[in-house]
Structure formats: C-alpha cells, structure tokens
Structure 1
C-alpha cells in the first residue's frame, strides 16, 4: 500500500539541479576515470579497515583449546568480538550526523580526499599500537579502532553521495554493483591477509606498516575523483544536524519506499554483524581452526558477494528491481539455515570443507539483495539531502551493527549455558532475515538518465 504523500517515481521527477550535478557531459560508466578512481579508493580503504578489524576480532575470539582449558579451571574464556564491534560502531553513531551535514555543505570530492589523508594518520597510529600491544593490550587497540571508525564515518557520506552527482541515474544500479564488488573484494583480501599476519608473522606491526602505504596510495587515487560543487553551500550547522534533521525525517516519512529501504539496510547490517562474529566463533571456538583457516572461512562469504553485486547490478539494469531482492533474500536465508545444521564432527554437519561453498553462495545472495536497496537510498532522496541521507543510512546501519553485537553476546551466553554449539548462532541470524525475506518488496521504478 502506497503512502499518500509518497514521492513520484524517478522518471517523473525533474533532474538534479545544476548546482549539485557536474555540468559537463557525463561519459559512459566503463570509460569514466573518475568512477574507477573512486572505486579503487574505496577498495584500498575497505582493505585497510578489514585487515585491522579482523586482526582485533581474531585476538578477541577464544580458541577451542582456550575454552576447554578455562572450563577445566572452572573459569570462562570470553568472546570479546562484540566489544570491538560496538566501539567501531560508536564512532559512526556519534559522528555520522555531522559528517552528513559536512558532505552536503562541502564538495564531496574535497571531503573524500581529506578523509583519506586522515586514514594515513590512523593507520600509522595502528602500527604503533600493534608494536606496543604487550603494553596497551586489547583495550588500547580499541581506542585505535574507534579512531578508525571516526575516519570511516566522515568517508561514508561523500563516497556514496558522490555517485549520483557524477553518474547518470540509469548507471546507478551497475555502478553500485561494481562499487560493492570492489568493496567486498577488499573484504576478502583484508580478512585473508589479517589471518595470515596473525598466524605467520611474529611482528604484526611490520605487516600493518603495509596498511600505512596503502592509505597513501588511496589518498593519491582519491585525487582522480571528479570535482563537484557543494550540494548546499553555506548551510548552517544546527543542533539537529548532529543527530537527524527534522527535514530529513520528513523526507523519509513521506516516502514509504525510502523509509523501508533504510529500515531494511539497518536490519541487513545487524545480520552482517551477527554472521561475521558467528563465522569467527565457528572456526576458532567450535571447529578448532587456526587464525589463517578461520579467516579463510570468513573470506569465503566475501568471495560470493562481489559476484552477487555484479549480478544484482546487471539484472537491475536502469531500474530498482524487486525480483532481484526476493531471490537474493531467499538464497541468503536458506544458506543461514544450512550453516546451522547439527551433526558430524564438532557437532557441525557441514564442517570446514562443506561450509566453504555454502558461504560462497550466501555471499552471492547477499550481493544480489543489497544492490537494489542501496540504489533506492541513493536515488530516492532530493538532491540537496543526499549527503545527509547517506549519513542517516550509516547511522541506522551502525545502530543495526550495535544491536547485532549485543544480540550476539546475549545469544552466545544463552547458548553456552544451554550447551549448544556456536553454529546455532546462524539460526539467530536466520530469524533476523526471515521477516525481510517474507515481506520486503521494493517498488519497481525506472531510473532516468
């Protein structure tokens, strides 16, 4: 049922004003150097984020041997992954509102370059933190993780908000597919490299020095992004901009499709937070795998996601396609249920080898599902609200991740008390996805050139 104040389909809306669109003729997507520079910049940034975050998550996840030894001593070996996820998410919740206002008031290209330069500093601090890890411990590295979250919070609104400003509307589905493909390829490499560093490099800080170099290269590639004018130059900063502006809430409330897309993407990242921690817990705590194999298992999810993103962008060609969402959600739900099956060695029916293809297919469903949702959030808001809309999406996403981290912690304690294996957490994830798969159907819309 359509809300009476819902905005008209995109093909009936006027084009973005010239103040927020690049005025020269836009080139085809595949031959647009600005788009490829932005995609490479995103790849390098996502790689760094995932190397650092996975290193901390591995440090936070107890091994099966540690759990057994703690049980014999009448103690517990806590899984501290949730602490890392909450700290990282807190930075987004605190700064996303301001970052969104800044992304609309300032040229998004300028903000992209500045945030990438800040990444160099954060990665350097991270390298020093790993060098002094024996002194500052896991708690000290959480401070570094928070700083990384702050940098990412300011990078998020301009990196997504600049796409509709520099691309033709009809190219947005394919562009998002390619953009997300680069993102999840970075996740694959970042997670695998983190596992290899943790398993085979005695001095992890030396490996993290590579992240500083990658941040430098990412700053250079950001310079290739096309210049754009500010969407709302001179906009004053109000108290509500630090949270959620009332004008933005009215935009979301007046467009039912936009509101549903924001809620669904929040639930999606809640699911993602639970699944990421569940895979690490399955590998290290239940199957008894080392850091390298556990990270390889986590990376398998990322192997399928770029395929799904490209497939979702191709099938959506020039429109928001609800059928792509339905297929992706259904595949994702089935794979979560398969990962929860009991039996076999270590009470996990699939085991390490069987989990790999299921996680790859789960990734394909994930990519297909999220592309049309992402396009909806980029394309539906008014031109002068896109930066703050992306910031609101980030806030909602990280609220979802925080809730996912809390849910993971509570469910894990409950499952341990009931003597249930770690892979039961995938049932919890399936419960999050079930109502989305059953009821979410975005309205099909064509995207104008």
Structure 2
C-alpha cells in the first residue's frame, strides 16, 4: 500500500473508527427504510387502511422533514461541542430508536414504525454536520480529497448493501423479526465503532445554541451565502443529489418499461450506478494529486451530460424480455449499462472534490453550520427532483429516456459554473 494512498487511512485510528461509524449508519438507515417500505407494500398497507402509494410518500416525507426542522440546531451543536462526543451520543440514540423499532417490527405496530422514521431522520440530521465537519480536523490538506473519497465510496456502498439486504430479508419467513434483530445489531456495532473515534475538540465553544427550528434553518442559508464561491459549490453538490435522486427513482420503471427486465435488472442498474460513484470517488485523490483541487469537477459535469444523452440514444425502442445476464451479454443493452456506470463515475468525480473544497474554504468556527446548510439544500433539491419527475413523467407524459435527456441538457448549464469555480480555485492555488 503506497505511502500516499488514501487506503492507508484505514490503518489509522483517526479515520477508521469514524469511517466504520458512518458506514454502519448509512447501511442501517437504508436497511430499515427499505425493509419497512417492502413490508408495507406487501401487506401492511391493508392493516393501516391507507393506500400503499400514500404510505410510501408519507414515509419519505417523515424521514426528510427533520432536515428542514433541525439542521439549524444540529449545525450549532456540532460547532459548539466536541465532535467525537456528539458522534457517540448520536449513535447511542440510534440504539434506542432501533430498539423501539425492533419492538414495533416484532409485533407489527406499523403506525409506530412510521413515527420512528421521523426519529431516524432526526438522528441522521444531527450526524450529518459532524460527518463532514470532522474530516478537516483529523486529516491534513493532502489527505482531505482522499478521505472524502473514502467516505463517499463507503456511503454509497452502504446504501446499496442496505437496500439489497432489505430485499433479501423479505424473502425469509420471519422477515419482520429478522429485520428487528438486524437493525439493533447494526446500531450496536456503530456505537462500538464510535467509542473508538478520537477526541476532536470544539471549534466554537462560546457559541450559544438556540432551538428555533424554522428560524435556525433559514439563518443557515445566510451562513452558507457569506462566501459566494462556497455557496456555488454547495449548490453544485445539491444539483448532483437532484440528478442522482431522479435516476435512482426511475430505475425500477425504466428497467420494466424500456429494458423489459425483471427485478434482477433493477438491482443490476442500482449496483452499477453505485459502483460507478464509488470508483469515481476513489479516482479523485489521484487526479488531484493530493491537493484541494477542483480539476475533476468540470470533467465530471461534462460526463454527466454526455453519458446522460447517450442513455437516451441507447434505450431500445422495442425491448425484448431480459434479465441481468442478457443485459451484460447483449451489446445493445450493454451500452445502457456502460452509460449508467459512467454517469456514476462522473458523479463521484463531481462531488468529492467539491466536498473537500467546502471543508477547506469555510472557517473552523462555522464549518458544521455550513455543512448543515448543505444538508438542507440537498433535501430541498431531492424534493424538487421528485416533484419534477411527477410533473414531466406524469403530467406531461414524457418518456423516461426523454426525462434523462432533459436532465442531461439542464446539467449542461451547470458546466460553466463549475468551470469558473475551478479557475478561481486554480488561480488561488498558483498564487499561494
């Protein structure tokens, strides 16, 4: 393992426990959410007396609502108090929440489980600012891009594995009870990893924490806007979450309608897209040569547009029944897979340097609040993505390939913004 490789961080206590903590949390979030939605879809919806579509959208709303309500106070807490302590308290709260969820899963208390989605979202809201604000405190500038690459890779792989694990558990006879045991076990594992996270100190011990949910969230926007170039980077990352959410939401229907595929095809599309993001995240350190550089970002943006356009061109007009093996072996289908994998790679190239740039360019005493603002804007963009999909695909009856094409063309408008941001960063790097 090279002395300069980002993977050497896995051998160091300043990084590995934190990495395992965030990985277990992302895995557990997605295991619980997806298992609950599958249980509701295949029977529990009748128990609640509500339509499945209503419950699924309600679940998504309950999980994302805390980001709007509590990100302001979460950012203040992360700036005010010692970060490793916050991480341990948040993971301890996860054990409590998952313990309550296990009881609900065991006895089939579905309404109770939906309420706990709100608490899980709250727990994630308080972990989010610490997740990225702690990295500049434990990593050198030469390690920051690589560390963010590892975190990005771990997050998306954990999301994929949690989603797949939920699907596999649903095939068991006692799926709800197996899920109950699994989510508690993962919460405990995350807490044990969190106990090993080294002391990270406080960046702003004199900050007065106020709990004013909506007002605090609004004030976060002002904090993020204090530096125009940082705000541009924040908006660029949020745009990627808009784009990524749009792709991931449409994969099931795209696989069924345009690839005539079964459920294995949906899993393959999700896996390749996620692996692509992980690969792109890993490439960033090498491409930036261990510096805080935005060099990969314009290339990532360009790739998101070009490969997105090619998905539209490659989508078969008259698909034949397919499974995952046919997609891998048939050249006509393989082109779609290559495009979606490449979109993932370009996404990793796009967001990882931007995260490192924001961490480097923000003052220590308000970094966590700016990360919290980023989380709020990400949530807003993902909600907007869902509404956009409903409007274009439902209201205007646009085809899914045409929807992907429209996203790619709009992404072309982002390219000049990130090119200017890269030039500014390069000029300052040369001057220094």
1:429 maps to 2:407: yes
Which secondary structure state, in structure 2, belongs to the residue aligned with residue 34 of structure 1? coil
1:13-412 pair list within 5 angstroms: 29=9, 31-56=11-36, 82-133=57-108, 136=110, 141-198=113-170, 200-208=171-179, 209-238=181-210, 243-244=215-216, 252-283=224-255, 289=261, 291=263, 293-340=265-312, 341-345=315-319, 352-353=327-328, 354=333, 355-412=336-393
Given that 1:258 and 1:377 are in contact with CA atoms closer than 8 Å, whether structure 2 keeps it comes out as yes
Q: Compute the displacement of 1:83 (Å).
A: 4.3
In structure 2, relative to structure 1, the CA distance for the partners of 1:235 and 1:439 (3 Å cut) is closer
Given that 2:298 and 2:350 are in contact with CA atoms closer than 8 Å, whether structure 1 keeps it comes out as yes
Which secondary structure state, in structure 1, belongs to the residue aligned with residue 295 of structure 2? helix
Given that 1:335 and 1:361 are in contact with CA atoms closer than 8 Å, whether structure 2 keeps it comes out as yes
Q: TM-score, normalised by structure 2?
A: 0.82
In structure 2, relative to structure 1, the CA distance for the partners of 1:425 and 1:83 (3 Å cut) is farther
Given that 2:260 and 2:319 are in contact with CA atoms closer than 8 Å, whether structure 1 keeps it comes out as no
Q: RCO higher in 1 or 2 (8 Å CA, sep ≥ 6)?
A: 1
Given that 1:253 and 1:259 are in contact with CA atoms closer than 8 Å, whether structure 2 keeps it comes out as yes
In structure 2, relative to structure 1, the CA distance for the partners of 1:142 and 1:246 (3 Å cut) is closer
Mean Cα displacement is larger for which, 320-329 or 109-118? 320-329
Query: How far apart are the structure 1 equivalents of 2:320 and 2:118?
Result: 35
1:439 maps to 2:406: no
Query: How far apart are the structure 1 equivalents of 2:376 and 2:131?
Result: 15
Q: Which runs of 5+ in 2 are unaligned?
A: 1-7, 43-50
Q: Compute the displacement of 1:318 (Å).
A: 3.6
In structure 2, relative to structure 1, the CA distance for the partners of 1:369 and 1:329 (3 Å cut) is same
Query: How far apart are the structure 1 equivalents of 2:394 and 2:64?
Result: 22
Which secondary structure state, in structure 2, belongs to the residue aligned with residue 322 of structure 1? coil
Q: Compute the displacement of 1:292 (Å).
A: 5.2
Query: How far apart are the structure 2 equivalents of 1:144 and 1:433?
Result: 36
Q: TM-score, normalised by structure 1?
A: 0.79
Query: How far apart are the structure 1 equivalents of 2:237 and 2:93?
Result: 27
In structure 2, relative to structure 1, the CA distance for the partners of 1:331 and 1:216 (3 Å cut) is same
Q: Compute the displacement of 1:182 (Å).
A: 1.4
Q: Compute the displacement of 1:329 (Å).
A: 1.5
Query: How far apart are the structure 1 equivalents of 2:31 and 2:297?
Result: 30
Query: How far apart are the structure 1 equivalents of 2:249 and 2:40?
Result: 10
Which secondary structure state, in structure 2, belongs to the residue aligned with residue 231 of structure 1? coil
Query: How far apart are the structure 2 equivalents of 1:327 and 1:438?
Result: 11
Q: Deviations along 1:320-362, whole A, 9 cap, x unmatched?
A: 43330011122222333333335131799x9954343332222
Q: Compute the displacement of 1:290 (Å).
A: 5.0
Mean Cα displacement is larger for which, 37-46 or 268-277? 268-277
Give the equivalent residue in structure 2 for 1:13.
none
Given that 2:224 and 2:373 are in contact with CA atoms closer than 8 Å, whether structure 1 keeps it comes out as no
Q: Compute the displacement of 1:59 (Å).
A: 6.5
Higher helix share: 2
Q: Compute the displacement of 1:248 (Å).
A: 5.9
Q: Compute the displacement of 1:153 (Å).
A: 0.4
Query: How far apart are the structure 1 equivalents of 2:165 and 2:174?
Result: 14
Q: Compute the displacement of 1:165 (Å).
A: 1.3
1:413 aligned residue (394, 398, 404): 394
Query: How far apart are the structure 1 equivalents of 2:243 and 2:39?
Result: 22
Which secondary structure state, in structure 2, belongs to the residue aligned with residue 151 of structure 1? helix
In structure 2, relative to structure 1, the CA distance for the partners of 1:86 and 1:389 (3 Å cut) is same
In the alignment of these two chains, the number of paired residues is 401
